Structure 1
Amino acid sequence: MKALCNNSAWGFGSAKSLISGTIASRRHSIGWSKRISGGLDMRLITSTAILVLSVLPAFADRAVTEDERVKLVAAAQAEGCSGGKLEMDEDDQQFEVDDAVCADGKKYDLKFDMQMKLKRKNLD
């Protein structure tokens, strides 16, 4: 009868160790869920920060002033191009004409320096 009451016959050890193991296991699982929750919060904060920082460069362009617009249109026309979206890239200190239609009928992105000299002409 003693052998049937002894849990060690089934590989569980004593009843006391079985109960204390269950409590320790429960404490461990609670700590695990808190760590997961904290990790998710940290991942959310990190993901949000990365998203915000990746969007910031998109705000580096500004609309051109009227004086800049007149000069930029003239510079684009000198290259045989017209139309497009005119912008000033503050980061690169250059003017951009996006989607300008040039003499060959194709669309280009034009980049001009601060003196309105063509730096690049990329097929769009």
Structure 2
Amino acid sequence: MVSMDPKAAVMNYQYGERAKSGLIILSQLAIALSGFPDQEKAGGKKMLLMMMESVRTELAFAHRGTSHREFNRAINSLSEAISLVESNQPEQASQKIAQAVSAVTTPAAEAWQVLSEHGLV
């Protein structure tokens, strides 16, 4: 049984689903970067890193807004992924991003359970 009031559940669900969407896009882009021609990799890497920083900022906002530890775990995984992209290892970065997706799925699933119990979904 998850201990969360409906207002907190709405916030956790919203932040979790938004983060999950952003992280899935990042994972797809990291994998795509591996297939870029050499002359395009530098620009692609720069754009990917900018997007990763943006999602990490959203995760930090989610953690501050909810205090759910899984958002912090996602931040840590994404930080590792950023380091891997900076080291020209985008495929390995996608594995770390997958860990972040798993982390943000937890608060969203817990929130869904609470919202269901209150008849809100």
TM-score range, shorter chain: under 0.3
Higher relative contact order (CA 8 A, sep 6+): 2
| Higher percent of residues as strand | 1
| Higher percent of residues as helix | 2
